[in-house]
Amino acid sequence: MLNLGLIRDLKPRNLKQRLEYNKWVRKINSSEFDSLSKTDEMQWSAVKLLLEHSFKFVPYYRNLLKSIGANPNDFKSWSDFQKLPLLTKEIIRQNPKDFISDLVDPRRLNLMTTGGSTGNPLGFFREPVMDKIERAFMYHQWGRVGYKEGARRVILRGEPVKGGRLFYKHRFDNIWLMSSYHLSVDHIEDYVSELNKIKPKFFHVYPTSFIIFTQLLIQSKLKLNFPIQAILCGSEPILSYQRQLFEETFNTRVFSWLGQAEGAILASECEYSTNYHVWPQHSYVELINENGENVKSKGLTGEIIGTTINNYGSPFIRYKTGDLAVYESDHCPKCKRNFLVLGEIKGRGQDQIFLEDGRRIPLTAITFGLHFEAYKKVSKMQVVQKRPGEITILISTIKNILFDELDEIEISTKMKNAVGGMLEINFVYSDDLMRTKNGKHIYFIQEINDITNA
């Protein structure tokens, strides 16, 4: 198959990035199954080099190490490294330019932003070549479900399609953007007709967008006339009922991964497991508990702290992601990779429900941690809290799929039982649910900053 992307990469300004991409492909291929000791040695060497570079050339880290009376030579082990103060989003917001290396022309950097699901987006800078490095990892991990560069792929995420069309084809790739803003009973036949012409091997999706398409497809009784090799789900958590519905409807594997615009972690499923395997060549990742201690016991939860070991242009070291994950192991017995393996991703540590008695309950305790049959009728759902002890659930359903009082009772009963009955739950039906600037669905909106201010 002709890889049209290679034509674009022949342009002089793109050739250097293509060579960097090829270098990382070789590096990933040669080190994917390294021993645990060799992987640890590689990561320590990479972190040491990054520390030395950052001390010399990055203003924030130069000032940080001086303020604590340290220099890179003082870090002789992981325990020394873990004494380094954590980096927070607020520190980056104060002056993102302090994280730019003196060796880099700031005009060459891309300004990146997170989705801002908390209402306070994070802006930071990144070298364009990092996109190519990231792509080397992404394509490699997608290869676990048969993906090859240049394969036909339809993207259904948050990107708008030019001219109000349903589909838009990339000029130099076998990639089509599929509009998420026209998904309705009125257009499903047109979507299916066009997909049957494109015949993609892979869907690359936000789960909250793809479930609308899937429900519409089932309701219409229309059929896709081609096999799907895999459904690639990223950027949003995929819920168990979504995974089940996708795999049953399209008779294929759902493959998901965990990544961030900040580059602090990249992890994905392997060929045999839905646990997340953290790429050690991409970043050094720690799980820490509320006391700042490493989490290394199976089944315990910690916050993900990430250091992108190949980002010299604008490095983040020991970055607090705000995401929580369950520690599984440092080795996958199924695929044999010596990667940090994470079980359940529990979402953001700040996603908490406030009760009237002052308690704070993790959102996952009343949502992802419970099984709801009613979810199968929901295309999108949003939880909003404005007052302690009360939440509003905004629900968007597919037309003609009845979401009734029994479904409300199931959701409210299970959620209330999870918190001892101390929660009032209201239901509102709306198709106008808030999204981030990048088109991601926002699952939780907390309008109470602190229980003491409620």
Question: Are 339 and 299 members of one domain?
Answer: yes
Q: What is the pLDDT of residues 382-429, one digit of tens each?
A: 899 999 999 999 988 765 567 788 888 988 988 888 777 889 999 998
Whether 79 is in a domain gets the answer yes
- Residue 326 — very low, low, confident or very high, per pLDDT cuts 50/70/90? very high
Q: Are 254 and 243 in contact (CB under 8 A)?
A: yes
Three-class HEC string of 397-449: ECCCCCCCHHHHHHHHHHHHHHCCCCCEEEEEECCCCCECCCCCECCEEECCC
CATH classification at residue 366: 3.30.300.30
Structure-model confidence comparison of residues 16 and 102, the more confident one: 102
Q: In which region does residue 18 sit, left (phi positive, over 0), alpha (psi from -120 to 50) or beta (all else)?
A: alpha
* In the chain, % of residues over pLDDT 70: 89
Whether 323 is in a domain gets the answer yes
Question: Are 89 and 167 members of one domain?
Answer: no
CATH classification at residue 70: 3.40.50.12780
DSSP states along 281-334? TTEEEEEE-TTS-B--STT-EEEEEEEETT--SS---SEEEEEEEEEEESS-TT
Question: Are 140 and 113 members of one domain?
Answer: no
- Residue 369 — very low, low, confident or very high, per pLDDT cuts 50/70/90? low
Whether 156 is in a domain gets the answer yes
Determine the structural domain holding residue 283 and report its residue range: 32-126+260-348
Structure-model confidence comparison of residues 87 and 360, the more confident one: 87
CB-facing half-sphere around the CA of 163: CA atoms within 13 A: 6
Task: Give residue 390's pLDDT.
Answer: 94
Question: Are 140 and 251 members of one domain?
Answer: yes
R_g over Cα of the chain: 23
Overall number of domains in the chain: 3
DSSP states along 55-118? HHH-HHHHHHHHHTT--GGG--SHHHHTTSPPB-HHHHHH-GGGGS-TTS-GGGSEEEE---TT
Whether 142 is in a domain gets the answer yes
- Residue 353 — very low, low, confident or very high, per pLDDT cuts 50/70/90? confident
Whether 441 is in a domain gets the answer yes
DSSP state letter for 162: G
Residue 60 has pLDDT above 90, yes or no: yes
Question: Are 247 and 300 members of one domain?
Answer: no
Question: Are 312 and 410 members of one domain?
Answer: no
Residue 381 has pLDDT above 60, yes or no: yes
Question: Are 215 and 250 members of one domain?
Answer: yes
Question: Are 341 and 358 members of one domain?
Answer: no
Question: Are 36 and 59 members of one domain?
Answer: yes
Whether 301 is in a domain gets the answer yes
Task: Give residue 442's pLDDT.
Answer: 78
**Residue 207 parent element (H or E):** helix 207-220
Q: What is the pLDDT of residues 149-194, one digit of tens each?
A: 999 999 998 677 888 899 999 888 899 999 887 888 889 999 999 9
Whether 81 is in a domain gets the answer yes
* In the chain, % of residues over pLDDT 90: 57
Place of tokens 């340290």: 70
Question: Are 140 and 91 members of one domain?
Answer: no
CATH classification at residue 207: 3.40.50.980
Phi, psi of 321 (to 5 degrees): -80, -25
Of 299, 327, 348, the last residue of a domain is 348
Whether 71 is in a domain gets the answer yes
Of 313, 329, 348, the last residue of a domain is 348
Task: Give residue 122's pLDDT.
Answer: 75
Q: How far is CA 431 from the centre of its chain?
A: 24
Which amino acid makes up residue 362? P
Residue 1 has pLDDT above 90, yes or no: no
Question: Are 148 and 246 members of one domain?
Answer: yes
- Residue 117 — very low, low, confident or very high, per pLDDT cuts 50/70/90? very low
Q: What's the CA gap between 136 and 269, in Å, rounded?
A: 16
Question: Are 387 and 401 members of one domain?
Answer: yes
Of 209, 233, 257, the last residue of a domain is 257
Per the prediction, the chain carries an average pLDDT of: 87
Q: Are 132 and 18 in contact (CB under 8 A)?
A: yes
